[in-house]
């Protein structure tokens, strides 16, 4: 048993010695370049002119598979997925305004003028729809100079599910 532990320690030590190989840990992370290739190059190539609409509905589908009970938990989901820092700016009875920011958002906006945040918008819209039990839609605005994405979610309590 101690030999296995020693071998694991040696493996981790060897990985730390190689600067291009990240150490193995429980909280795995995806390199930005790999994420960016899939998100901003491959998906638009595959989906073509329908990229934004398909990503929006894909976000809604992810939300259905990962239901969240409160807006605060949506913020934590964004942190866990690496989608950015989500902040609630204001909310009234039929609308909320949110902001996505952070290093990943800033880098994507700087490097790819055509990057899409419709996946995130669809995810938020579906979560709010499930929480409010009425139809909700999200609209987004890129604030490239400020390196932020603004998302407005609107719903109508009369339009029940």
> What local confidence, expressed as pLDDT, does residue 45 receive?
96
Q: What is the pLDDT along the chain (161 residues), one digit of tens a residue?
A: 444 455 544 444 444 444 444 443 446 777 889 989 999 999 999 999 999 999 999 999 999 999 999 988 999 999 999 999 999 999 999 999 999 999 999 999 999 988 999 999 999 999 999 999 999 999 999 999 999 999 999 999 998 98
Residue 85, in any domain of the structure: yes
> Can you give the CATH number for the domain in which 156 is found?
3.30.1380.20
**Neighbour-count burial of 112, counting CB atoms closer than 10 A to its CB (0-12 exposed, 13-18 middle, 19+ buried):** middle
How many folded domains does the chain comprise?
Answer: 1
Task: Write out the residue range of the structural domain in which residue 138 sits.
Answer: 48-160
Residue 11, in any domain of the structure: no
Residue 16, in any domain of the structure: no
Residue 33, in any domain of the structure: no
Could you give the C-alpha distances from 39 to 12, 28, 55, 97, 139, in angstroms and in order?
A: 30, 18, 10, 24, 20
> What local confidence, expressed as pLDDT, does residue 27 receive?
62
SS3 61: helix
Q: Are 147 and 106 in contact (CB under 8 A)?
A: yes
Residue 3, in any domain of the structure: no
């Amino acid at each position: 048993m101690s030999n296995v532990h020693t071998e694991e320690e040696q493996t981790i030590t060897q990985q730390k010695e190689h600067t291009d190989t990240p150490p193995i840990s429980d909280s795995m992370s995806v390199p930005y370049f790999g994420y960016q290739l899939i998100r901003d190059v491959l998906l638009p190539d595959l989906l073509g002119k329908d990229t934004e609409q398909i990503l929006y509905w894909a976000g809604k589908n992810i939300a259905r598979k990962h239901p969240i009970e409160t807006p605060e938990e949506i913020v934590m989901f964004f942190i866990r997925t690496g989608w950015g820092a989500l902040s609630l700016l204001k909310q009234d009875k039929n609308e909320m305004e949110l902001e996505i920011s952070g290093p990943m958002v800033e880098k994507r906006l700087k490097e790819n003028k055509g990057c899409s945040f419709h996946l995130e918008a669809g995810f938020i819209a579906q979560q709010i729809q499930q929480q409010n039990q009425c139809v909700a839609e999200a609209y987004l605005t890129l604030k490239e100079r400020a390196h932020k994405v603004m998302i407005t979610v609107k719903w109508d309590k009369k339009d029940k599910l």
